[in-house]
Structure 1
Amino acid sequence: MDRGGCQMNGGGDRSGPEQHGMITLEDLESFSEEQLSDSGNGSLEEEGETMEDEENQDRLLHYWQDVARGHQVEVAQDMAEPIQQLTSNNQGRSQRQLIPFTLLGRKEKCGELLYEKRQYEKGRWACITMREDTYEQSICYGFMRIMRYICQQNSLGDYLGMTLPIVTVVRTNETHSAMSHDVTVAYFLPDYHQAQPPQPTDNEIVIEIWPATTVYTRPFTGPTNEVTIIDQISAMAELLDSPGVCVNDSFIVAGYTNPAHSNRQNEIWFLERP
């Protein structure tokens, strides 16, 4: 992975014509069921299952807008349909594909996981690089554009399916004391679209082939912003036996849970040099 692209190792071909984080991820049904029910609006089952009702669609949009406003992000009215589609198509964990990997090893201390070493195989990703004022703004606006691609703004005109984690590529200076404003949001194409990925209608979304990569990964919970990411990078560097084997200025933040979750699940990924 280089500073200008979003490949995992710096290699990789490009095909096609051409995320804490904010609105990204795993328990998308909690937007509709848990959070909306808590506000007195009832559950999706009570309202009629799939959110096709215009009133429920607006309710979800308003909820996302309220959450995003706290991060100085505006969610446009035209996001109502993608939000509805992503939510109604992800009722249950079985509807979300986890990106496959091979576990190569684990390091523990006193029963606590310090980090895992994993192998991710070559695969196609939809990527967009953003440059907003803050990390949270970049990943939110980037994911919303990826979300439109997932939800019909593609050459098939169809819902593509959700995979996890949604990842963001962040770049730092050599001392890991500051982050670049350039943030790449990336979505792994589901298995059934890997051979022939649908092309985005958004010409700033690029389909890239990321090469097979060895990743050192450590879980963390809570929000993701410039401060927490720099802290996690520093903590991970201290835990690695040989940090020099990893890329020094590009890292990945992997997100598994949505921003409203009280105990957000994330990972920091260090990428082994090719």
Structure 2
Amino acid sequence: MDRGGCQMNGGGGGGGFDSSGPDNSGMITLEDLESFSEDQLSDSGNGSLEERDTMEEEEESGRLLQYWQDVARGHQVEVAQEMAEPIQQLTTNNQGHSSREHIQFTLLARKEKCGELLYEKRNYKKGHWACITMREDTYEQSICYGFMKIMRYICQQNSLEDYLGMTLPIVTVVRTDENRSVISHDVTVAYFLPAEHQAQPPQPNDNDITIEIWPATTVYSRPFTGPTNEVTIVHQINAMAEHLDLPGECINDSFIVAGYTNPAHNNRQNEIWFLERC
């Protein structure tokens, strides 16, 4: 695995790859866990609610881990036994959307055509991000393994030994050739520190994760739905380039995919971000 910088202005990228990979999203998020907790855990026994509430922690942890492992196999990813505790913590602490903090931004402009949003121009303030750059056999594997490492950091594997809280979106920095046709296997997964931890970011126990200050950044953001794989990302990047028509004003070989909802969902909510040159 290679590590590298993950600031919003991108950085270097590795070599290309065959874009005919599997059509899946690769990242497992807490919506997968919530669907399991709400739909499947409720049917896990015929006892009373009180009896289910007193289910042994080890048994519940095993059920959640098994669910993640089943989901991950579809993405050619293995979920290790050590993920059982962080998975359970995310499930316990995120039984609803109100506990998630959305990254704040200032809207600078909007462009629409015939009622369709083409893009928004936004400014994001300087802030601390936990990030990791992975290089696996496929783009999807890089995202998934990177996210699981970030998840362990969120769930107590940090200097506070405490659950830090979830923020949205989880972003991935993708790097391409100058023609925007080939994506590098080096993928950066990044998590914005919640407001209460911005002044003094907890340090990760995992040396592969770095805490970096990303500078204030202006982005051009366009929403899209569906899976995020090599083919769809290349398509969205080139579609956004046509709408922007701003040659030279944006970085042309580094982009951000922002994910807000379950990537396994047919109507997953995502955004593609173009980064304005400093």
1:226 aligns with 2:203: no
CA distance in 2, matches of 1:145, 1:50: 30
Match of 2:120 in 1: 116
Match of 2:28 in 1: 23
Match of 1:261 in 2: 265
CA distance in 2, matches of 1:255, 1:161: 17
Matched to 2:67, the amino acid is Y
Shift of 1:94: 1.3
Shift of 1:23: 1.1
Partner SS, residue 173 of structure 2: strand
Match of 1:17 in 2: none
For 1:93-112, list aligned pairs within 5 A: 93-112=97-116
**1:128-178 alpha-carbon deviations (Å, 9 max, x no partner):** 000001111001000000000000100111101100000000000000110
Pick closer, same or farther for the CA change 1:148–1:241 going to 2, 3 Å: same
Match of 1:60 in 2: 64
**1:218-257 alpha-carbon deviations (Å, 9 max, x no partner):** 1111111111111110110011031421111000011111
CA distance in 2, matches of 1:136, 1:50: 37
Match of 2:44 in 1: 41
For 1:184-223, list aligned pairs within 5 A: 184-223=188-227
CA distance in 2, matches of 1:125, 1:118: 18
**1:71-98 alpha-carbon deviations (Å, 9 max, x no partner):** 1000001101101101110111110000
Matched to 2:6, the amino acid is C
Partner SS, residue 244 of structure 1: coil
Match of 1:146 in 2: 150
CA distance in 1, matches of 2:56, 2:244: 49
Match of 1:242 in 2: 246
Partner SS, residue 247 of structure 1: strand
Pick closer, same or farther for the CA change 1:78–1:4 going to 2, 3 Å: closer
For 1:133-172, list aligned pairs within 5 A: 133-172=137-176
Shift of 1:21: 4.4
Matched to 2:156, the amino acid is Q
Match of 1:90 in 2: 94
Pick closer, same or farther for the CA change 1:195–1:110 going to 2, 3 Å: same
Shift of 1:265: 1.1
Unmatched tracts of structure 1, length 5 or more: 12-19
45-54 vs 185-194, which deviates more? 45-54
Shift of 1:215: 0.7
CA distance in 2, matches of 1:81, 1:216: 38
Aligned pair count reads 261
**1:31-82 alpha-carbon deviations (Å, 9 max, x no partner):** 3214x269x5379x94746987322221111111111101100000110110
CA distance in 1, matches of 2:106, 2:167: 17
1:271 aligns with 2:272: no
100-109 vs 166-175, which deviates more? 100-109
Contact persistence 2:26–2:143 (CA under 8 A): yes
CA distance in 2, matches of 1:54, 1:28: 16
CA distance in 1, matches of 2:54, 2:265: 22
Unmatched tracts of structure 2, length 5 or more: 12-24
CA distance in 2, matches of 1:50, 1:217: 46
Matched to 1:31, the amino acid is F
User: What TM-score do you get using the length of structure 2 for normalisation?
Assistant: 0.87
Q: Which of 126, 129, 135 is the aligned partner of 2:130?
A: 126
Contact persistence 1:27–1:257 (CA under 8 A): no
Partner SS, residue 152 of structure 2: helix
